Amino acid sequence: MADTGIETENRFNTLARHWLHWRRKRTWALAAIIVYTLFGFFGVPWLVERQLVNTLADTGREASVERIRANPYVLSMDVEGLRINDTDGLEIVSLGRLFANFQLSSLFHWAATFRDVRIESPHLTEERFGRLDTRFTRMLADLAGDEVEEPGEESAPPRVIVGHFVLADGRVHLVDRSAGDFATDIGPISVDVFDIRTLPDNEGHHAVTVRFGDRNRVEWQGDLSIVPLRSSGRLALVGHGIEDALRYTDHFLPFSTEVGDIEIGLDYTFDLQSEALQLEVSALSGTVDDIRVTPDGGNASVFAASRLGIVNGHALLPDATIDVERVAVEGMEITAELRPDGSINLVDLVPGSDTATDTPDWDDEDDTPWQITVAEVRVPGALIHATDQSMSPPVSVDLVELDLRLTGLDSRPGTSMPVELATSLSSGGRVAYNGELTLLPALLTTGRLELQAVALPVVQPYIEPMLRIEMQSGTVDMQADLTHNPDQLLDLAGALRVEQLEVVDTHQEERLLGWSAMTLDRFELDMAAQQLQTSEVLFDRLYGRVHVAEDRSTNISDLLVEPIAPPGEPDTGSDEAPASAAPLAITVGGIRLDDASLDFSDFSLPLPFQAAIRSLDGDISTLSTVSVEPANVDLKGQVNEYGEARIGGTIDAWDPTRNTDIAMTFRNLEMARLTPYTIQFAGYAIDGGRLDMDLQYRLDQRRMNGDNNIVIREIELGEKVETEDGGSLPLGLAIALLKDTEGVIDVDVPVEGDLDDPQFRIAGVVWRAIGNLITRAVTAPFRLLGALVGIEDEDFGTLHFTPGQSELSPPDREKMVKLGDAMLQRPELALSVGGVHADAVDRPALQRQFLDARIDAWQADHPGDADELSTTRQRRTLEALFTETFPGQPLEAVQAEFTGPPPAATGDAADAGAPVLDEPAYVAGLDKRLVDAQTVTPADLQSLAEARAAAVITALQDAHPEAGLTVATAAVEATEASDGNEVPLELSVEAGED
């Protein structure tokens, strides 16, 4: 045993002398290894920690590390629990672990080469105070100290090669004091990349995935060169929500945004080798789903889309161009509101509006305008909720199934693009627009606007504050060319039709107004010129109602709702009226009524009275606000079964009190229906009789003069009726005094006064005898024949024709029925019918007819443009016929007669402007000259008289086709027109042949 111990000791001594002798190299090598090992494992961590702590301490910051481990043999370092606090004690950096594995191959590459660099759980807190002023920029500036490079001095980046770089579970807490103390957390962030090189002209291919949280990632594949900095490859964003990014950007915008799934990809190439950034983006395509935009302070989104897609986008820098093949917005839904203060909610989404947050103070050094082109923009099946909150209750209309298509969108000024828009309205109807649109430098558009069956009741809430009416039905169709530009606010020209209009008086709860159709073949609205011109307006089956209530108010006056001043707005007492825009100059080519009707009722009388006018037809000529020429009125209708109403004359429709001369004629009204009025003024009922009325009203500068003539025949008084405010006129004695020898009562009711006089009222109603104004027209045999059928009318044998016409009126057709009945009881009598004409009234009427025929023939041969206004066509026709009729008279001479200062210019102001042609008056002057120039021959009058005789015979035979009445034809005679400008035809009877 002892020998063994000695041997061991000897071997150890021998080994020590071999390795530990200071003269031996192996001894120093061993010592170096030991020192290297101890320093590598223990010294390096201590020095790194000291250097880190002391360096940051010199800048006023505090750093701490839980543990640093180094392995000198694999050249790796592992740092755990790193903490850095800023000068105010706030922790700005925390690091779970930093691992780096250095490679000796750095000596061969002449670059710091790492096989692996791994950063785990890095948490950064960055706080921004202003542009380029953050916690980290301050720390870097303090670390650099005085060793700051001079401006313009260039330095190469450190030469580094990293074989594999990993960042796991990274998080950033971002605070922006310049944006209203905005704060957000971003993360977790993951990065995994291979082969990073900063060597000059050393380009490597990489595939990198950067993850933000569990659902968002950025994928990159491509080539990258650090020196010079250039790269090309493909970049893709795939994720859901990107809440952190949106929260930050939303702070600088007046709205917040939510998105769903995102998938965006692009190819790129960029190069920083030259002075300007060279960047090209191509094949940019992607989709963003479930987009919602909510204004700041709002609870609901105002914009939403199920998907926003972009196809094949391309961008270039420094050319500043963006080209996109297609942009599509699917499932778009917009909520638009007009607030009570007149503002629109969508304006709040525009940065810089009153509610918008201040944007960051970025410097825009490059003011190169971007040129953006999009080949096609599609918005299919969109929905817009439009609400007017200024109304009470609010008015809402949805634009459903809205389809929008823009092609050739271009941001370059002056570039126009086709636009197609079509949508249906939830209230009924469809709107479409097809045209050209220019966005820059100002909004310009021109195209075709079409309305199809747009329901009118949608405007009911806007009518209620002004009128007590309800628009129950009605649709609008319109096809018009629309133009808008800075110089032309609105230019609209086309055709318009309103069908099935029904308006109810909500005060009386009865029908007020309606029509089957209102047609306007052509209208032209020019807002720049403040002018509206239309062709003739055609009304089919127009209906109106006039009602007098018990308190003598009318339904028309009751329609107006008195305006109520808004609360909280005191009366300033100022008499100054606000300045108003120039009035719209309106010229309507005329109005035509076809089968119109009017209901009249008067409940202010002891017995309610009602009357109806049916089959009202006729025309009103050109109406113009810029002409002193009044409009001609010619209307004719039927009252009850055999009554007739005519309205004729002239009227200034825009200012009736200035120049109006209207004549209203009623024939063959049943007196029994007028009992309520006779009770009112006389206290008697009427059992029978016939009434004719001629009412003439003239208004001249607000002064009225009226001549009303009333003729009563066959009046039969009823019983005396006592009323509280009825008249006490002894009507029986009055009738006995007023009847002439033929039993006719003639009453004149004069009306005159000043409309501005508050005491103005009817001057009086005077019953007076004026003699026989109507020549006896019926012989004793006709009185006898009338008695046989219960008619005691001396005019039973007299018929009345409209000048130039041969048709029998409804009252005269009734006479033929009654006369036939009487002649059947006297078969031995023969009726003699002779034609008549009255040169004084028939000749002008025939001249009018002849000219109308020439006008129709000329227009048939010269149809002109389909879009031509009727007023323009009328002037063109009359000028052509005038030149043809009066070849020696120039049109300029006629125009001079109707040229003068504008109608609004008076006094000294009359010479201020250039002379203006009063076109309606000029056209009326041409018309009058041409009418007077028409030739009416005796043969024409003969033919008219014979046609009248034939009409009488036909009416008599049609009333009794199988009776075999004897009718003879007498010679044509000339006669004089009656006081009513009608042509009387007197029948005669004679004994028939056995």
Over 70: is that where the pLDDT of 459 sits? Answer: yes
Place of tokens 């020192």: 35
Min mean pLDDT across 76-90, 693-707, 774-788 is at: 774-788
Structure confidence at residue 575 (pLDDT): 47
Min mean pLDDT across 1-5, 401-405, 446-450, 503-507 is at: 1-5
**Per the structure block, which two tokens stand in for 984?**
């009387």
What average pLDDT does this structure show over 338-356? 73
Over 50: is that where the pLDDT of 872 sits? Answer: yes
Q: Which residues contact 248 (CB under 8 A, 6 or more apart)?
A: 174, 176, 182, 184
Over 60: is that where the pLDDT of 823 sits? Answer: yes
Min mean pLDDT across 237-241, 575-579, 751-755, 807-811 is at: 575-579
Confidence of residue 500 (pLDDT cuts 50, 70, 90): very high
Confidence of residue 733 (pLDDT cuts 50, 70, 90): very low
Min mean pLDDT across 84-88, 130-134, 744-748 is at: 744-748
Let me know: does 379 contact 403? Beta carbons within 8 Å.
Answer: yes
What average pLDDT does this structure show over 108-128? 83
What average pLDDT does this structure show over 885-893? 88
Min mean pLDDT across 407-421, 426-440, 647-661 is at: 647-661
Tens digits of per-residue pLDDT, 177-233?
A: 776 677 777 777 777 777 777 777 666 677 777 777 677 888 888 887 777 778 888
Structure confidence at residue 859 (pLDDT): 87
Predicted TM-score (pTM) above 0.85? no
728, β-bridge pairs: none
Min mean pLDDT across 199-203, 204-208, 604-608, 889-893 is at: 604-608
The 3-class secondary structure across 491-547, one letter per residue, is: EEEEEEEEEEEEEEECCCCEEEEEEEEEEEEEEEEECCCCEEEECCEEEECCEEEEE
Structure confidence at residue 307 (pLDDT): 93
Over 70: is that where the pLDDT of 901 sits? Answer: yes
User: Between the ranges 201-210, 292-301, 747-756, where is the mean pLDDT highest?
Assistant: 292-301
Over 50: is that where the pLDDT of 413 sits? Answer: yes
278: amino acid identity, one letter: Q
Structure confidence at residue 994 (pLDDT): 41
Residue whose C-alpha is closest to residue 266's, from 309, 313, 211, 308: 313
- E strand or H helix that includes residue 552: none
434/448 Cα distance (integer angstroms): 5
User: Between the ranges 72-76, 171-175, 238-242, 777-781, where is the mean pLDDT highest?
Assistant: 171-175
Confidence of residue 822 (pLDDT cuts 50, 70, 90): confident
Confidence of residue 785 (pLDDT cuts 50, 70, 90): low
Structure confidence at residue 675 (pLDDT): 53
User: Between the ranges 241-255, 372-386, 749-763, where is the mean pLDDT highest?
Assistant: 372-386
Over 70: is that where the pLDDT of 909 sits? Answer: no
Structure confidence at residue 792 (pLDDT): 66
Structure confidence at residue 686 (pLDDT): 63
CA angle 231, 237, 241 (to 5 degrees): 150
More confident site: 491 or 158: 491
What average pLDDT does this structure show over 306-318? 90
Return the SS3 of 676: helix
Structure confidence at residue 23 (pLDDT): 60
Over 90: is that where the pLDDT of 895 sits? Answer: no
309/263 Cα distance (integer angstroms): 10
Over 70: is that where the pLDDT of 85 sits? Answer: yes
- For the chain, the C-alpha Rg in angstroms (whole number) is 50
Min mean pLDDT across 332-341, 689-698, 831-840 is at: 689-698
Min mean pLDDT across 465-474, 734-743, 976-985 is at: 734-743
Structure confidence at residue 552 (pLDDT): 63
More confident site: 112 or 9: 112
Let me know: does 218 contact 209? Beta carbons within 8 Å.
Answer: yes
What average pLDDT does this structure show over 928-950? 90
Structure confidence at residue 57 (pLDDT): 84
CA distances from 719 to 682, 684, 712, 716 (A): 11, 6, 18, 10
Structure confidence at residue 53 (pLDDT): 82
Return the SS3 of 618: strand
**Per the structure block, which two tokens stand in for 695?**
């009412």
Dihedral, 933, 938, 941, 945 alpha carbons, nearest 10 = 180
Structure confidence at residue 24 (pLDDT): 60
User: Between the ranges 483-497, 588-602, 647-661, where is the mean pLDDT highest?
Assistant: 483-497
Min mean pLDDT across 119-128, 245-254, 315-324, 975-984 is at: 245-254
Tens digits of per-residue pLDDT, 545-598?
A: 877 776 667 777 777 776 444 444 444 444 444 445 567 888 888 889 999 988
Over 90: is that where the pLDDT of 987 sits? Answer: no
**Per the structure block, which two tokens stand in for 754?**
């000043």
| Average pLDDT, rounded, for the chain | 77
Structure confidence at residue 476 (pLDDT): 95
Structure confidence at residue 568 (pLDDT): 43
Over 80: is that where the pLDDT of 741 sits? Answer: no
Confidence of residue 395 (pLDDT cuts 50, 70, 90): confident
The 3-class secondary structure across 735-790, one letter per residue, is: HHHHCCCCCCEEEEEEEEEECCCCCCCCCCCECCCCCCCCCCCCCHHHHHHHHHCC
Confidence of residue 374 (pLDDT cuts 50, 70, 90): very high
Residue whose C-alpha is closest to residue 295's, from 242, 360, 239, 339: 339
Min mean pLDDT across 175-184, 216-225, 634-643, 886-895 is at: 175-184
What average pLDDT does this structure show over 980-986? 85
Tens digits of per-residue pLDDT, 280-293?
A: 899 999 999 999 98
Over 80: is that where the pLDDT of 120 sits? Answer: yes
Structure confidence at residue 721 (pLDDT): 61
Residue 643 CB: number of other CB atoms within 10 A? 25
453/869 Cα distance (integer angstroms): 24
The 8-class DSSP code of residue 179 comes to G
Min mean pLDDT across 432-446, 459-473, 757-771, 913-927 is at: 757-771
C-alpha dihedral sign at 792, 797, 803, 805: positive
